Amino acid sequence: MSTTTITSEKTTANTQSTPVPITVAYGDGIGPEIMQATLDIIKAAGANVAIEIIEIGEKVYLSGNSAGIAPEAWESLRRTKVFLKAPITTPQGGGFKSLNVTTRKMLGLYANVRPCVSYHPFVATKHPVMDVIIVRENEEDLYAGIEHQQTPEVVQCLKLITRPGTEKIVRYAFEYARQYGRKKVTCFSKDNIMKQTDGLFHKVFDEIGEEYPDLEKEHWIVDIGAAKLADTPENFDVIVMPNLYGDILSDVAAQITGSVGLAGSANIGEEVAMFEAIHGSAPRRAGQNLANPSGLLLGAVQMLVHIGQGDIAERVHNAWLKTLEDGIHTYDIFQEGVSKEKVGTKEFAQAVIARVGQKPSQLKAVSYANAQKTIQVKLKPAVPVKMETVGVDVFLYCEDRDAQKLGEKLETIKSEDFKLYMVTNRGVKVYPNGLPETFCTDHWRVRFKAEKHVNYTQIIKLLQQVTEGGFEIIKTENLCRFDGVDVFSAGQGA
């Protein structure tokens, strides 16, 4: 086991109330330098925090811990419930698990909140007016990590969207918009294609949205929504989306502000929250006093609001904006003719500290006056539904690609409870009345429908007949009807 050092250190800036315990990891590469700069700035602005330092990342991985985090570190996180994390280096080679994914999943950090703001004309950008908050669902969707190879030719990743998971993230987005004085919440989904999964996400967005009449609501299909976000980001305010689209588009949105180096992000759970920069550990820049600490600093600003120190967050954020505006820039955002002074990490931190108490005059000053509490999300009680099973999809492995022959052979199965309805290949109906042009793999779905509700004993009997008929079953999915509505997809061309 690796040695995890946990040391405590009290800040002295604000001793009037009890310091809020936070867990800090200095990380790898440029991590220690940008963390030091960040802590120096927030302390100088009066942050009242008691810091517990944990070690995570490269050293812990290389000591033989494949998760990159030791049990003592989990204890600290579960005790303080607030984690300020510098980027870490994931060693090359297999077997090392992503610490970010592990932390998010283990601590239930369901909301990833990433403000993407441009700072025209002080940071070069194609989008001078951009101030978008991406709220990404962080636990579900294709990231549930349930993948299987089912036949020699076909692998599957399960996309899970849940009602409570969606309700949590959507409510969070609306509550965030209210608390931060935002006007509009947009939902991105692909419910024209994924009618059940993304359909649920969109439906819950519409339902919850009705509880927020003060906010404008809109929905875009993710493809055209993403194109519009990249083209006219000034038309967006808060955008909420499922995990995969959020993963991709939060990077796109940060990049088009002008620099990913300036964005911070919060990962919020019901109990614990983690704050960080969105960039990595930039190992080639490490130890040279070059790195820009702004991303982590803005993560720390989100943290200060979360722990109820919004007044300090505001002082830090405005001092930082003033520093940018005064042209004091690290190498990554330095522009001849715009920047006044190229500085290192430490000097940048000192410049921000010297401006604590000041506000920007050209860039918009921030106010966290109404954002001094942690956003709490309460779920509506589940509504009971009448659930019936009206059939079963039986997935088969069959090397022979003759769909007509397969269908005719399946017709010989005589079941009391089920009728063969169709056979599909990759979702496309190939029997009855398939087209010879349809490309087929070795993975077939056979849909059997029942006249009325069936139980699992009846399904097992059918499966036995299918097996005895010489077919190789891979898996099954029940066909359900909720409150009289069929809740499964039709076949393409069916």
If the CB atoms of residues 81 and 285 are measured against ligand NAD, the closer one turns out to be 285
DSSP string, 125-165: -S-SS-EEEEEEE-SSBGGG--EEE-SSS-EEE--B--HHH
What's the CA gap between 140 and 138, in Å, rounded?
6
- Say which amino acid occupies 99: L
**422 Cβ contact partners less than 8 Å away, ≥ 6 residues apart:** 429, 431, 432, 446, 447, 491, 494
What's the CA gap between 24 and 45, in Å, rounded?
18
Tell me the closest approach of the beta carbon of residue 230 to ligand NAD, in angstroms. 20
If the CB atoms of residues 284 and 452 are measured against ligand NAD, the closer one turns out to be 284
Tell me the closest approach of the beta carbon of residue 291 to ligand NAD, in angstroms. 4
Q: Give the E-state strand segments of 182-247 in sequence order.
A: 184-189, 216-221, 238-241
If the CB atoms of residues 77 and 170 are measured against ligand NAD, the closer one turns out to be 77
Residues 355 and 315 sit within 8 Å (Cβ to Cβ): no
By CB under 6 A, name the binding residues for ligand NAD: 30, 34, 87-90, 100, 261, 276, 279-285, 291-292, 295, 332
If the CB atoms of residues 282 and 430 are measured against ligand NAD, the closer one turns out to be 282
What's the CA gap between 108 and 273, in Å, rounded?
9
If the CB atoms of residues 134 and 474 are measured against ligand NAD, the closer one turns out to be 134
Tell me the closest approach of the beta carbon of residue 30 to ligand NAD, in angstroms. 6
If the CB atoms of residues 90 and 243 are measured against ligand NAD, the closer one turns out to be 90
Structure tokens at 44: 């100088």
Tell me the closest approach of the beta carbon of residue 110 to ligand NAD, in angstroms. 18
What's the CA gap between 425 and 293, in Å, rounded?
52
If the CB atoms of residues 112 and 186 are measured against ligand NAD, the closer one turns out to be 112
Which residue number has the CB closest to ligand NAD?
280
Tell me the closest approach of the beta carbon of residue 343 to ligand NAD, in angstroms. 12
Helices 294-306 and 31-44 cross at an angle (nearest 10°) of 50
What's the CA gap between 187 and 165, in Å, rounded?
15
Tell me the closest approach of the beta carbon of residue 53 to ligand NAD, in angstroms. 17
Tell me the closest approach of the beta carbon of residue 364 to ligand NAD, in angstroms. 23
